[in-house]
């Protein structure tokens, strides 16, 4: 296939190049001007539309897709622990096979429509653990996306459920170790719901499979206080003690950490994921994003995987936190530039393939954006166009592995209207179980 007359856009390093792109066997094989098509080679003229690498959501919870508009708890949550107990832990305990599937299906559809081609999901369904990751994979595969999946190990349901969570991670790691579209990680909730023994088992599994642990870290101050009170050490010390910190591990939030802990995470080369919309919604605090280092990415923590929206929220929250406008805050050195493109580097490590590039050999996970700029679009002002002009609603087409999965705004693998209608019926039953 040849994509002709595209304006190829990369956010880091900043780049805009016009011309053609040749795709073969799911990868970029050539770029240039007026490439000559071979026999039987499809040619699509993009007529100057923007072509970008597909986005990555580095931390999400697809099971929250059916939570939109659900009845709230009888008494309002007073703090973060209350939000978990009264909302999310009631929801995940009510999940069954059907609701897991439709949560993942509609969540993946939304991700696709937003130009997100890879999801790193963190799943929990305490009453349906064995096989739960296969259900998510089936739904995401139907939409045509890539994903790295894990099951949330925790002690909150007792030892039997903890062990089932460990077994589900191990099983999925084995069957996806070389899968081109799906990989496994070791999932863990947070240190305040995990004993030393449970953390140790997670660390040992990660070591056996040479993968990372995907875990929430210091999302709320309760995580920090629990570590100090029960274990007489900090959250990061606990993780380090039990082998959780390695160059493959994904640490979500990292809000209530001190500079010394950030330095320890940097030394361990962990990936830190910022989730600004969720942090603001839960009122858990503002992450010190400038301490996240180079191995940082952007997630949504269960919000729709719209990375345009997430980046904007993060940028504006950071501006507000500074208390004054600083135009350099969204320069090429900005953490938000790294966070958007950091997801590509993260999945490159997970899949051992090249993502987020138009260079020869890069996987052809691409997004066509129908953005007509009202002012000149240059390398120098590209990021301001990204922040103030581009929207996920402008996504025209999406390619994953060299195959169109959305074309001319039509999702190809799923009837979206039927999927949403069925999901709505499933959501009603799910909400009844939550309140039953």
3-state SS assignment for residue 398 = strand
Residue 327 has pLDDT above 50, yes or no: no
Q: From the CA atom positions of the chain, what is the Rg in Å?
A: 21
Common-topology check for domains 2-53+362-411 and 55-350: no
| pLDDT at residue 323 in the model | 63
Is 117 within 8 Å of 367 (Cβ atoms)?
yes
| pLDDT at residue 324 in the model | 52
| pLDDT at residue 334 in the model | 58
Q: Locate the domains of the chain by residue range.
A: 2-53+362-411, 55-350
At residue 322 the predicted structure's pLDDT band, cuts being 50, 70 and 90, is confident
| pLDDT at residue 413 in the model | 92
Token representation of residue 171: 């099983």
Is 57 within 8 Å of 119 (Cβ atoms)?
yes
Residue 330 has pLDDT above 50, yes or no: no
Residue 165 has pLDDT above 70, yes or no: yes
Global confidence as pTM: 0.96
Q: What is the pLDDT of residues 359-385, one digit of tens each?
A: 999 999 999 999 999 999 999 899 889
Q: Does domain 55-350 have CATH number 3.20.20.140?
A: yes
How far is Cα of residue 49 from the mean position of the Cα atoms in its chain? 26
Distance between CA atoms of residues 95 and 101, nearest Å: 10
Which homologous superfamily is 2-53+362-411 in?
Answer: Urease, subunit C, domain 1 (2.30.40.10)
In 135-293 the beta strands, taken as DSSP E runs, fall at 146-153, 182-184, 186-188, 213-217, 250-253, 271-274
| Rounded mean pLDDT, 23-41 | 94
| Partners of 404 in the β-ladder | 399
How many helices, marked H, and strands, marked E, lie in the chain?
14, 18
């Amino acid at each position: 296939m040849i994509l002709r007359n595209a304006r190829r856009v990369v956010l880091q390093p900043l780049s805009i190049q016009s011309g053609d792109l040749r795709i073969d066997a799911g990868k970029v094989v050539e770029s240039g001007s007026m490439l000559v098509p071979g026999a039987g080679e499809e040619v699509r003229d993009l007529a100057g539309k923007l072509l970008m690498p597909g986005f990555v959501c580095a931390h999400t919870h697809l099971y929250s897709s059916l939570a939109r508009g659900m009845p709230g708890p009888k008494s309002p949550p007073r703090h973060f622990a209350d939000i978990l107990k009264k909302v999310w832990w009631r929801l995940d305990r009510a999940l069954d096979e059907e609701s897991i599937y439709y949560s993942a299906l509609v969540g993946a559809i939304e991700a696709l429509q937003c130009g997100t081609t890879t999801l790193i999901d963190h799943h929990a369904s305490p009453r349906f653990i064995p096989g739960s990751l296969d259900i998510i994979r089936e739904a995401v595969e139907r939409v045509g996306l890539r994903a790295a999946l894990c099951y949330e190990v925790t002690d909150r349901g007792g030892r039997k459920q903890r062990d089932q969570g460990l077994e589900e991670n191990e099983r999925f790691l084995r069957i996806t170790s070389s899968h081109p579209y799906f990989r496994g990680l070791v999932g863990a909730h947070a240190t305040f719901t995990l004993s030393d023994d449970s953390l140790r088992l997670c660390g040992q599994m990660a070591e056996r499979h040479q993968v990372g642990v995907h875990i929430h870290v210091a999302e709320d101050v309760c995580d920090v206080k629990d570590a100090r009170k029960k274990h007489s050490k900090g959250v990061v010390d606990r993780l380090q003690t039990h082998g959780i910190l390695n160059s493959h591990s994904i640490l979500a939030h990292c809000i209530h950490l001190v500079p010394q802990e950030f330095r320890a995470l940097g030394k361990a080369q962990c990936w830190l994921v910022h989730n600004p919309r969720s942090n603001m919604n839960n009122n858990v605090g503002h992450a010190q994003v400038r301490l996240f280092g180079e191995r940082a990415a952007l997630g949504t923590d269960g919000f729709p995987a719209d990375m345009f929206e997430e980046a904007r929220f993060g940028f504006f929250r950071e501006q507000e936190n500074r208390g004054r406008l600083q135009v350099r805050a969204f320069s090429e050195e900005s953490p938000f530039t790294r966070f958007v493109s950091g997801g590509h580097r993260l999945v490159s490590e997970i899949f051992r393939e090249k993502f987020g590039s138009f260079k020869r050999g890069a996987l052809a996970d691409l997004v066509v954006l129908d953005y007509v700029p009202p002012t000149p679009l240059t390398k120098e002002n590209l990021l301001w166009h990204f922040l103030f002009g581009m929207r996920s609603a402008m996504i025209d087409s999406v390619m994953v592995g060299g195959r169109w999965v959305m074309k001319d705004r039509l999702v190809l693998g799923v009837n979206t209207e039927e999927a949403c209608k069925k999901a709505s019926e499933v959501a009603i039953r799910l909400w009844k179980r939550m309140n039953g």
